[in-house]
Chain A
């Protein structure tokens, strides 16, 4: 596929994606900005991450972190599933892998916007490396969520995402997932890199399952 055709595919999928998510996107962006502003007003950067490191017998729910992590997932919802199962069949001469990668790119663009807000509003730019890794891992996280949503009902995919976020809150040293929290961020670059590689491997394994996709909504 030439660059010209890929760009055309991106343009077409952006329009279809935006049609599906625009209302959710506007609502979620407003909530996201409000949560970040509240965090900034309270305790600057740490307001957003308040409660992420649990002290023994003193559980604090890091509500802002919880929503900030889950809001991009809420925006994506069933849109990836719809864009693949309804949007792809008429373009079945375009490789399915290329088609899915184009949607990944669109989702990453949306996540980049959220990430930029997260950097700009609380002023998180001083944690440069953490911010970049957070963006990378969040992108991989939404790819995993999206690929799972192709094979499981959206409500179950949501449930898994919430469960993982809750697990991350409850356990201070959850491998890979704890990296999504600043206070648990391991300063050892090799460990961080290793965790990111594991996430990439999960994406690759799930991506290899796309040949089993059924282009129908009979599972609902």
Chain B
């Protein structure tokens, strides 16, 4: 039986007297792929942000690798996540942006991270000297995946990664997720695309109105 790496216990989040997360309970086992489905505003992204420590639950516990988030530690460690464009410098190349994140997060200029390899892995040309602001939405999406994969984190969160990807981009994403699973990663993905989630997930959580309304083991 694999280990639990993320656990949410009776997590609630209130905003303006409204429950936007309502008694969310879930367990994430290592080296599995979890799909999060549901309409906009169902609570998928908010659940991700709660796991990362970017939102403090009103009640309940969020435990990542044995540490209580926002209690023992402020943010979850060892989780890579993709948020399109956030904090990326538009006037720099993809390589420059990834190097900057790598140096600042590791605080070690000798950190051995093969940025070129990583860019190739997500399907971007490592020799492309274009500034990120000139990238298409699909390329920006791939760059955000590369940002998530920096630091070789054990747990990965991809929020709506199929957005802005064409059919070949989606095929690439399916192959990448399968490969990451083979490498022992635990992956959490949200998407509106049910066939895509069915294709990549071991387990799907169905969200609606801030709570889990169903689960599907594949």
Q: Report A's interface with B, CB cutoff 8 A.
A: 1-2, 4-5, 8-9, 12, 15-16, 19, 86-94, 96, 211-212, 214-216, 218-219
Contacts and interface: CB of A to CB of B under 8 A. Distances in A.
B103 interface: yes
Interface in B145-179: 147
Given A15-B89, A215-B49, A90 B101 contact: yes
B83 interface: yes
B55 interface: yes
Nearest to A1: B107
A11 to B, nearest CB: 9
B20 A211 contact: no
Contacts of B54: 89, 214-216
B106 interface: yes
B86 A12 contact: no
B104 A15 contact: no
Question: Which 8 residue pairs are nearest across A and B when measured between Cβ atoms?
Answer: A215-B54, A93-B105, A90-B87, A92-B75, A87-B87, A86-B86, A214-B55, A5-B107
Contact of A91 (B74, B83, B104): B104
Q: How large is the interface on B (under 10, 10 to 19, 20 to 34, 35 or more residues)?
A: 20 to 34
B91 interface: yes
B86 A87 contact: yes
Interface string B71-104: 0001101000101001101110000000011011
B52 A8 contact: no
B20 A218 contact: yes
Nearest to A219: B15
Given A12-B100, A212-B56, A216-B55, 20 more contacts: A5-B103, A5-B107, A8-B100, A16-B87, A16-B89, A89-B52, A91-B87, A91-B104, A92-B52, A92-B53, A93-B105, A94-B104, A96-B74, A211-B74, A214-B55, A214-B56, A215-B54, A216-B46, A216-B49, A218-B20
A91 B86 CA distance: 11
Contacts of B106: 93
B97 to A, nearest CB: 9
Contacts of A8: 100, 103-104
Contacts of B15: 218-219
Nearest to B105: A93
A193 to B, nearest CB: 35
Interface in B105-163: 105-107, 109, 147
Contacts of A96: 74
Contacts of A212: 56
Nearest to A92: B75
Contact of A12 (B20, B81, B89): B89
A50 B145 CA distance: 57
B148 to A, nearest CB: 9
A84 to B, nearest CB: 11
A218 B101 CA distance: 26
Contacts of A219: 15
A79 to B, nearest CB: 14
A183 B55 CA distance: 46
A90 B49 contact: no
B114 to A, nearest CB: 19
